[in-house]
Amino acid sequence: MSAEGSGSRIPDPGSRSVVVQELVKRFGSTTALDGVTFGVEKGELFGFIGPDGAGKTTLFRILVTLLVPGSGRASVLGLDVVREYRALRQRVGYMAGRFALYPDLSVEENLRFFASVFGTTIEREYAQIAPIYTQLEPFKDRRAAALSGGMKQKLALCCALVHRPDILFLDEPTTGVDAVSRREFWDLLGNLKQSGLTIIVSTPYMDEADRCDRVALIHRGRLLAVDAPSAITGAFDRPLLGVRAKERYKALLAMRRYEHAHSVYPFGEVIHYTDIRTDAPVNQLDQELRAFLAASGFADASVEPLTPTVEDTFIARTAASDESRIPNPESRGAA
């Protein structure tokens, strides 16, 4: 079953950089990928958004030919990831989530090493990496282990780009990095996209979805949705209300007891609320919720309609089939 939304075009294998059909991967009794189907267009900046253990790393490892799928098919740049892995390896760039750099080598030595593995040199590829490498050059003699988190990522990105790949896979490049460095990294990816490179990136941060042309929401080895971020949030199936109250936690607990409540979640300083009555007009829901809050002792509470975010959608889709309360051992290292 494809999770592709209405916004995606009819598959044309010629224009697609990645075609994946019914991909399954198990590790012992754990199903890391459970029938994943999607396609990525040439030149797209495509994001996989999901928490740890969702299957992002397993999927990326299969696509960069480091892991063989259990069943299903996958091709990258028109090459089958199993049969044509040798040809494919020359053409993909891969930035693994961790351990991508040699900590005891300097910035320049790391880059030189990765260039030599692919039979090239920093000098020959300078134009490709210059926009990023110029930010690192002042520190080129520093050991990679001594770089700040944001700098390490930029170096890892340079190393993944140095052989001029046709497609780039970045597995959680922004995990554990502060909000400023994350922003800068996405700006870099935006610039790389302008050069025509196809980029596939994974992240656990839902707010990074908006940086992508299209995203796949991934959870427990399955794709919950594949579409443009605006189409994903546009498909949110009921009115969303935001509540502000001084005593936020108490208001939240009170709203959970409201007879019409469908979902009540804190989002920063606002509580996001949906109602079980899907067909009622927003005005009515708004007024009734206001009345309920006032009657419950939250006279200061304000209510306003909100535009759903990707995170709202993710929560709605995962809560609908929530297995998070049922013991479901998941693999740790693998998925």
Partner 1 sequence: MSDVAIAAKDLTRTFGSFTAVDHISFEVRTGEVFGFLGANGAGKTTAMRMLIGLLAPSGGTARVAGHDVYTESEAIKRSIGYMSQRFSLYEDLTPRENIRLYGGIYGLTRQQIRERTERMLARLGLAGVADEQVHSLPLGWRQKLAFSVALVHEPRIVFLDEPTSGVDPITRRQFWELIYEAASAGTTVLVTTHYMDEAEYCDRISIMVAGRIGAIGTPADLKKQFGVDSIDELFVRLARPTADRIPNPESRIPDPGAAPSERRQ
Kindly state the number of chain residues that form the binding site for partner 1, as judged by CB under 8 A: 53
- Asked if residue 221 binds partner 1 (CB under 8 A), the reply is no
Extended strands (E) in 115-204: 167-170, 198-203
- Asked if residue 328 binds partner 1 (CB under 8 A), the reply is yes
- Residues 147-186 close enough to bind partner 1 by CB under 8 A: 147-152, 175-184
Q: Which residues partner with 303 through β-bridges?
A: 243
Least gap, CB of 235 to partner 1 (angstroms)? 17
Whether 53 and 59 have beta carbons less than 8 Å apart is answered as no
Least gap, CB of 106 to partner 1 (angstroms)? 11
Least gap, CB of 215 to partner 1 (angstroms)? 14
Least gap, CB of 149 to partner 1 (angstroms)? 4
Chain-centroid distance of CA 302 in Å reads 33
CA dist., res. 25 & res. 39, Å (int): 18
- Asked if residue 318 binds partner 1 (CB under 8 A), the reply is yes
Residue placing its CB nearer to partner 1 in the complex, 196 or 329: 329
The vertex-75 CA angle with 72 and 79, nearest 5°, equals: 135
- Asked if residue 104 binds partner 1 (CB under 8 A), the reply is no
Residues 6 or more apart in contact with residue 23 via CB below 8 angstroms: 33, 35, 36, 37, 59, 62, 69, 71, 72, 73, 74
CA dist., res. 40 & res. 23, Å (int): 15
Residue placing its CB nearer to partner 1 in the complex, 176 or 281: 176
- Residues 120-139 close enough to bind partner 1 by CB under 8 A: 139
Interacting stretch for partner 1, rule CB under 8 A, among 83-91, 227-235, 248-256, 295-303?
248-256
Interacting stretch for partner 1, rule CB under 8 A, among 14-22, 161-169, 266-274, 280-288?
266-274
- Asked if residue 305 binds partner 1 (CB under 8 A), the reply is no
Interacting stretch for partner 1, rule CB under 8 A, among 15-23, 66-74, 120-128, 201-209?
201-209
Residue 60, classified by CB atoms within 10 Å of its CB into exposed (0-12), middle (13-18) or buried (19+), is buried
Q: Count CB neighbours of 287 within 10 A.
A: 12
Residue 20, classified by CB atoms within 10 Å of its CB into exposed (0-12), middle (13-18) or buried (19+), is buried
- Asked if residue 28 binds partner 1 (CB under 8 A), the reply is no
Least gap, CB of 210 to partner 1 (angstroms)? 13
CA dist., res. 176 & res. 260, Å (int): 38
- Contact with partner 1 (CB under 8 A) among 213, 267, 306, 334: 267
Residue closest to 32 by CA, chosen among 82, 70, 1: 70
- Asked if residue 236 binds partner 1 (CB under 8 A), the reply is no
CA dist., res. 285 & res. 279, Å (int): 10
- Asked if residue 219 binds partner 1 (CB under 8 A), the reply is yes
- Asked if residue 249 binds partner 1 (CB under 8 A), the reply is yes
- Contact with partner 1 (CB under 8 A) among 66, 68, 87, 145: 145
CA dist., res. 159 & res. 149, Å (int): 15
CA dist., res. 163 & res. 140, Å (int): 19
Largest separation between any pair of C-alpha atoms in the chain: 72
Count the helices and strands in the chain (H runs, E runs): 10, 14
Least gap, CB of 69 to partner 1 (angstroms)? 24
Least gap, CB of 296 to partner 1 (angstroms)? 17
Q: Which residues sit at the interface with partner 1, rule CB under 8 A? A: 50-54, 98, 139, 142-143, 145-152, 175-184, 204-207, 219, 248-249, 252, 265-269, 311, 314-315, 318-319, 322, 324-325, 327-330, 332
